[in-house]
């Protein structure tokens, strides 16, 4: 039920209404509403109950295990929220003169430096507002670089088939033709296929490493060499940075440009829980094209670098400067971890994933890449179960909800049939991991004894199995206010 449907004419919350005594005589007529805004007419208590009950229906990381692969849904430490809520940060106006923003700018400057250090890139811009925008900025920089050198015959971006869907989308948005190359049965990029498609038309290659197959790309040095020799640049999709944070650096692997998802790796809220943040890091040759503004330090004063300082910039990504509150949370998170803690993120994320992979394999499940060590995530294929019991990955995912576990990513990457992509992250304890394995063992028993229980799951959630086919075929995205009797 929407809050609009609780509305009763004339009802309001007087205690929350604007002060009636305000002098609004300065507001010109042309800016005044001719019709009152269509807000729900409800009492304060109705509002509180409505949203509290909605929040209780939420299946979230604060209440349940959330092993969503390739999304890195990790816990958002409360300390980082608290730091970002410091009144000096909260009340800072984006147009305030920089002499009143030195504290804030110093935090952003430090964050740029931390991200540079941990990724091995030469410079970082915090401007992009989300991962997808970071990708757009990254490929736009690659294009600006080639254009600047009058190297305009480069019209193609190469993307491995295990890529995130946003990669080909980004390349297309920037005017490139996408060339897909396959990955082999061990999850590595097919190097021969790469050698066949690179050439003078290659603008760059977009890669996620570890890939969405949940394994580290072992031939990354050779891949970098092949692409660089052909004159192309290497783009690193930071979606899986969590696995290697502080252990291996994209800059050392030969990547020219990367985006990082602070809302994944640096534990800021996401998944409906908050705005994203997708800073980009660049190698030396892409520095002139970075999105603005970038924070610089001159002697002891922090300032913004804008168009004047970076005349070849691809431009700003938003009206101001990234998502301030998210950048501050990421900064606080990085400081809480410190250099030592940063390395332990990747170690524990990988340990947790491999622990789960081995235990689930022992329980009879099939690993998609059994010969490989998992990175921060790993893939089960439920194709054998589908064949034996007629139970799909979707059925198992839905049944997990009944056991109090959020479903992992299903049916992605597309290469793996009945795909189940699991990422526990470093913040889960061994007890939580064991509880997940226990649930998967029970579900395995149910496949044999009562497959119907899985096919009709979930049974305990506020909303049962949704008809996703009908939802996609008959899109219904707007609330239509019922027509009421004409008011006189």
Partner 1 sequence: MMSNTPEELKYATSHEWVKADEEGNVTVGITDHAQDLLGDIVFVELPEVGSLVAATDEAGVVESVKAASDVYAPVAGEIIEVNEKLNDSPELVNSDPYGDGWFFKIKMSDSADLDNLLAADEYSEQCESE
Q: Which of 153, 388, 414, 430 is the binder for partner 1 (CB under 8 A)?
A: 414
DSSP states of 259-322: EE-HHHHT----SSSS-----EEE-GGGGGGPPBPEEEEETTEEEEE-TTT-TT---BSSSSSS
Residue 335 or 415 with smaller CB distance to partner 1? 415
> Does 26 sit near partner 1 (CB under 8 A)?
no
Residue 40 or 417 with smaller CB distance to partner 1? 417
Report in angstroms how near the CB of residue 385 gets to partner 1 at its nearest: 15
- 353 Cβ contact partners less than 8 Å away, ≥ 6 residues apart: 214, 374, 375, 376, 377, 378, 422, 423, 424
Residue 383 or 453 with smaller CB distance to partner 1? 383
- Residue 273's φ and ψ, nearest 5 degrees, are -95, -5
The one-character DSSP state at 205 is E
Report in angstroms how near the CB of residue 453 gets to partner 1 at its nearest: 21
How far apart are the C-alpha atoms of 150 and 161, rounded to whole Å? 30
Distances (CA, A) of 268 to 265, 331, 423, 424: 8, 10, 17, 17
Site track 225-264 with partner 1 (rule: CB under 8 A), x = hit:
----------------------------------------
> Does 476 sit near partner 1 (CB under 8 A)?
no
Classify strands 294-298 and 156-160 as parallel, antiparallel or unpaired.
Answer: unpaired
Q: Which stretch binds partner 1 (CB under 8 A): 112-120, 295-303, 323-331, 409-417?
A: 409-417
Q: Which stretch binds partner 1 (CB under 8 A): 18-26, 93-101, 294-302, 468-476?
A: 468-476
Residue 120 or 417 with smaller CB distance to partner 1? 417
Q: Which of 472, 477, 480, 483 is the binder for partner 1 (CB under 8 A)?
A: 472
- 285 Cβ contact partners less than 8 Å away, ≥ 6 residues apart: 145, 256
Report in angstroms how near the CB of residue 414 gets to partner 1 at its nearest: 5
How far apart are the C-alpha atoms of 444 and 87, rounded to whole Å? 52
As given in the structure block, the two tokens for residue 41 are 């007419």
Residue 415 or 441 with smaller CB distance to partner 1? 415
Contact by Cβ (8 Å): 34, 21: no
Q: Which of 120, 305, 411, 432 is the binder for partner 1 (CB under 8 A)?
A: 411
Site track 364-403 with partner 1 (rule: CB under 8 A), x = hit:
----------------------------------------
Q: Which of 165, 315, 338, 462 is the binder for partner 1 (CB under 8 A)?
A: 165
As given in the structure block, the two tokens for residue 148 are 């600047």
Q: Which of 469, 477, 480, 485 is the binder for partner 1 (CB under 8 A)?
A: 469
> Does 300 sit near partner 1 (CB under 8 A)?
no
Residue 101 or 381 with smaller CB distance to partner 1? 381
Single out the residue of 277, 299, 326, 244 nearest to residue 76, CA to CA: 326
Contact by Cβ (8 Å): 307, 313: yes
How far apart are the C-alpha atoms of 474 and 335, rounded to whole Å? 48
Q: Which residues bind partner 1 (CB under 8 A)?
A: 165, 411-412, 414, 417, 468-469, 472-473
């Amino acid at each position: 039920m929407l809050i609009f449907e609780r509305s009763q004419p004339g009802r309001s919350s007087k205690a929350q209404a604007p002060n009636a005594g305000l002098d609004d005589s300065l507001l010109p007529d042309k800016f005044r509403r001719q019709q009152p805004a269509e807000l729900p007419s409800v009492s304060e208590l109705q509002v509180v109950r409505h949203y509290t009950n909605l929040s209780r229906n939420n299946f979230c990381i604060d209440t349940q295990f959330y092993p969503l692969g390739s999304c890195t849904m990790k816990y958002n430490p409360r300390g980082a929220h608290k730091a970002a809520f410091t009144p000096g940060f909260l009340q800072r106006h984006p147009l305030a003169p920089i002499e009143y923003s030195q504290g804030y700018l110093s935090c952003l400057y430090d964050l740029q430096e931390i991200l540079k250090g941990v990724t091995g890139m030469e410079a970082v811009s915090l401007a992009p507002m989300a991962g997808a925008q970071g990708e757009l900025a990254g490929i736009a920089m690659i294009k600006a670089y080639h254009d600047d050198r009058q190297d305009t015959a480069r019209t193609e971006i190469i993307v491995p088939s295990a890529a995130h869907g946003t990669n080909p989308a980004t390349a297309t948005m920037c005017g490139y033709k996408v060339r897909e190359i396959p990955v082999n049965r061990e999850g590595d990029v097919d190097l021969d296929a790469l050698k066949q498609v690179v050439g003078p038309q290659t603008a760059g290659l977009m890669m996620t490493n570890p890939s969405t197959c949940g394994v580290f790309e072992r031939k990354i040095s050779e891949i970098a060499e092949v692409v660089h020799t052909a004159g192309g640049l290497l783009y690193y999709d930071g979606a899986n940075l969590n696995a290697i944070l502080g252990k291996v650096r994209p800059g050392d692997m030969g990547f020219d440009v990367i985006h990082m998802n602070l809302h994944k790796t640096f534990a800021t809220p996401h998944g409906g829980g908050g705005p994203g943040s997708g800073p980009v890091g660049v190698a030396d040759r892409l520095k002139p094209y970075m999105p603005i503004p970038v924070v610089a330090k001159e002697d002891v004063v922090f300032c913004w670098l804008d168009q004047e300082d970076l005349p070849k910039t691809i431009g700003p990504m938003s009206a101001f400067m990234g998502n301030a509150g998210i950048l501050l949370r990421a900064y606080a998170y990085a400081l809480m971890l410190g250099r030592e803690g940063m390395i332990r993120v990747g170690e524990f994320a990988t340990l947790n994933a491999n622990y789960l992979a081995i235990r689930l394999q022992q329980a009879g499940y099939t690993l998609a890449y059994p010969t490989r060590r998992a990175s921060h995530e790993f893939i089960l294929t439920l194709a054998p179960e589908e064949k034996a019991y007629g139970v799909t990955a979707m059925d198992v995912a839905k049944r997990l909800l009944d056991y109090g576990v959020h479903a992992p990513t299903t049916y992605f990457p597309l290469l793996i049939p009945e795909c189940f992509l699991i990422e526990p992250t470093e913040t889960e304890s061994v007890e939580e991991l064991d509880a997940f394995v226990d649930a998967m063992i029970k579900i395995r028993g149910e496949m044999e004894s009562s497959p119907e229980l899985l096919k009709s799951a979930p049974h305990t959630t506020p909303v049962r199995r949704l008809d996703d086919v009908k939802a996609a075929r008959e899109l219904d995205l707007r609330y239509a206010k019922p027509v009421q009797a004409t008011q006189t």
